[in-house]
Amino acid sequence: MNYTEGMLKAGALKGKTILITGGGTGLGRSMGKYFLELGASLIITSRKIEVLEKAALDLEQETGGQVFPIACDVREVDQVEKMFAASIEQFGKIDAVVNNAAGNFISPTERLSANAFHTVLDIVLKGSVNMTMTAGKHWIQSQEPGTFLNVVTTYAWTGSGYVVPSAAAKAGVLAMTRSLAVEWAKYKIRSNAIAPGPFPTEGAWSRLLPPDLVKEFDPAKKIPLKRVGEHQELANLAAYLVSDFSAYINGEVITIDGGEWLQGAGEFNHLEKMPQEFWDNLQKMRK
């Protein structure tokens, strides 16, 4: 099976303008590229304009689409509002917002400074709130429909040690997603979320883990499908959720992780490591 093929028909996003925070690198860039291939216009934003401008140039050359790069720190609501206004001026409208910008630390929680904890909360939760409130108020005032797609994580509902700021922030984003799906539906504004498992990006693990642990940390080992995700698989799902094909989906979070969180959630899932002799003896005991 080819996991790197696009899922939707050509032109599925034609006429739509989509804004992605953290859109110049990683999964944000991969989603944006597919949106462009399907006919959308794209706005990518993050703090580093040089990264955005290079990504925009590359994406336009790769897809023939139109990309507007604009710097913005999502933690600062004034910057978000100015960025959104400039994007509206550029394209005339924005149909969907993908809240993708994130930050994370892997660390024992007691070793984190208050500033480190707050940095993750501010980027992930406060940033998503700033973006959502800015776009939502605009759509409501303009009487325009809109779609939010928020990138969360499976530990938004299970919690997870050693990434507590991220877990707390993503849980907040998930709660906002579900809450606004109900409250703003009357304005024809949908809110959904994706909870990805491991979709490796260049240097992702090396940024989070010390060099001696990078080789040992193989996420594929704890995934029932025994592989990590391909970026196109996530892009396919994201494109569907911002398209009109998903018009009746609202308030949902869709997990795309090869079964990882279910395997980790089961109390006895670790018994997969037991040798066959263990099971043979257990069966004899039952007799």
Q: Which residues are catalytic?
A: 155
User: What is the largest distance, in Å, between two alpha-carbon atoms of the chain?
Assistant: 75
Cα 189 to Cα 185: distance, rounded to the nearest angstrom: 5
* Beta-carbon contacts of residue 84 (< 8 Å; ≥ 6 apart): 19, 94, 131, 134, 135, 138
- The Cα-based distances of 98 to 17, 129, 219 in angstroms read 11, 12, 25
Q: Residue ranges of the alpha helices (H) in 12-151? A: 26-37, 49-63, 77-91, 114-121, 127-142
* Beta-carbon contacts of residue 119 (< 8 Å; ≥ 6 apart): 103, 165
Tell me the three state secondary structure of residue 96: strand
The torsion angles phi and psi of 148, rounded to 5 degrees, stand at: -105, 135
